[in-house]
Amino acid sequence: AQARYANLRELPAQAKCGSVIDLHMNAGLMADLPSLESSGAEGVGLFRTELQFLIRSQMPKRAELSALYARVMDAAKGRRVAFRTLDIGSDKVLTYMKPNDEPNPAMGWRAIRVGLEKPGVLRMQLQALIRAANGRSLTVMFPFVAQLEEFRMARAEFDKAMERERILGHPLPADVQIGAMLETPSLAFAPDIFFQEVDFISIGGNDLKQFFFAADRENERVRRRYDTLNVSFLTFLEQLIARCKAHNTPVSFCGEDAGRPIEAVAFAALGLRSLSMRPASIGPVKHLLRRLNLDEVKVVIDEARRRGDQSVRGAISDYLRTQV
């Protein structure tokens, strides 16, 4: 499939209306790195650092992590890599950390909640990232931030790690971008100042959708019940995008839906200009985006909403059939 879209690799995902959508890839394992070249990704929009923890039988050491992150940055050759700090808990369980017996792990003690309450591993990881950057740019994002204060506390951990490195006389990153993943509806309604303080927002659509519809992403019985293109969810995304625009906060979408062509088209029509997806999706999504006028797609979405369609999928699919 990659070969089919090889001729698009160096071309931008520029739609007929002129809008350019930046397409990034999701990664987490060393095996993903060759895709940086083959997929035509602009960078890594989501590097899931927990995968390196999940494939080991014991806690990795700081030096080991630092070497690994440096290899990722080397492979990226100056392209941006958004390192997502450890997202453990919920569906991701480490055998070497005391298992938590929680009634509902997806809404439990996970991700940044663990990182802030037991900061040892987070601090080690932040230091490893700073050392790996070694004078290069560094982009870090925190998973599952539900409120402003959590972002502030996580950023304070980062600032402390920077200060420790500075005192030790180690080289600091040339420039630092610190973002939050928006995976709970609550964060979309955070005070304005959150949008000003955060360097960027990355929408974790997999979790965001499960909490928006209260439908467990792991439960086969309900997980497909609610369409991502449901007008309620799209309207929510649209309002979030508007808030980001109002504050000039860069925003991207990195859940699995970003790699699904109809979803990607809808997100772009609603104003998202950055999507991160599995590498194999970049070609097909770019191919489709380049053939469309997003202003027309927006009209199709608005008409579907006015009619009271539950989802805009049918309307967009019908429109696409007339175009491609």
Structure tokens at 192: 């304005």
Binders of ligand PEP: how many residues, by CB under 6 A?
10
Using rule CB under 5 A, residue 165 touches Mg ion = no
Name the burial class of residue 4, with classes exposed (0-12), middle (13-18) and buried (19+) by CB atoms within 10 angstroms of its CB.
Answer: exposed
Which residue, 179 or 204, is less far from Mg ion as judged by CB? 204
Which residue, 173 or 204, is less far from ligand PEP as judged by CB? 204
The H or E element that residue 51 is part of is helix 50-54
Q: Which of 140, 129, 134 is nearest to 176 (CA)?
A: 140
Q: Which of 175, 229, 202 is nearest to 87 (CA)?
A: 202
Enumerate long-range contacts of 51-60, CB under 8 Å, 24 or more apart.
Answer: 52/28, 53/86, 53/88, 53/94, 54/92, 54/94, 55/29, 56/96, 57/95, 57/96, 58/96, 59/96, 59/97, 59/121
Which residue, 162 or 254, is less far from ligand PEP as judged by CB? 254
Task: Return the one option of Mg ion, ligand PEP, none that residue 48 interacts with (CB less than 5 to 8 A, by type).
Answer: ligand PEP
Task: Return the one option of Mg ion, ligand PEP, none that residue 238 interacts with (CB less than 5 to 8 A, by type).
Answer: none
CA angle 92, 116, 130 (to 5 degrees): 85
Structure tokens at 52: 């390196």
Displacement of CA 152 from its chain's centroid (Å): 19
Q: 141 with 200: CB under 8 angstroms?
A: yes
Which residue, 201 or 292, is less far from Mg ion as judged by CB? 201
* Min CB(117)–ligand PEP separation in Å: 19
Using rule CB under 5 A, residue 207 touches Mg ion = yes
Q: Which of 22, 42, 183, 238 binds ligand PEP (CB under 6 A)?
A: 183
Task: Return the one option of Mg ion, ligand PEP, none that residue 43 interacts with (CB less than 5 to 8 A, by type).
Answer: none
Residue 63-102 contact track with ligand PEP, rule CB under 6 A, x = bound: ------------------------x---------------
Using rule CB under 5 A, residue 205 touches Mg ion = no
Cα(143)–Cα(13) distance, rounded to whole angstroms?
27
Cα(258)–Cα(110) distance, rounded to whole angstroms?
24
Task: Return the one option of Mg ion, ligand PEP, none that residue 255 interacts with (CB less than 5 to 8 A, by type).
Answer: ligand PEP
* Segment interacting with ligand PEP (CB under 6 A) among 93-101, 129-137, 167-175, 198-206: 198-206
* Segment interacting with ligand PEP (CB under 6 A) among 51-59, 130-138, 202-210, 220-228: 202-210
Q: Which of 115, 173, 179, 204 binds Mg ion (CB under 5 A)?
A: 204
Using rule CB under 6 A, residue 255 touches ligand PEP = yes
Residues that bind Mg ion (CB under 5 A): 183, 204, 207
Residues that bind ligand PEP (CB under 6 A): 46, 48, 87, 183, 204-207, 254-255
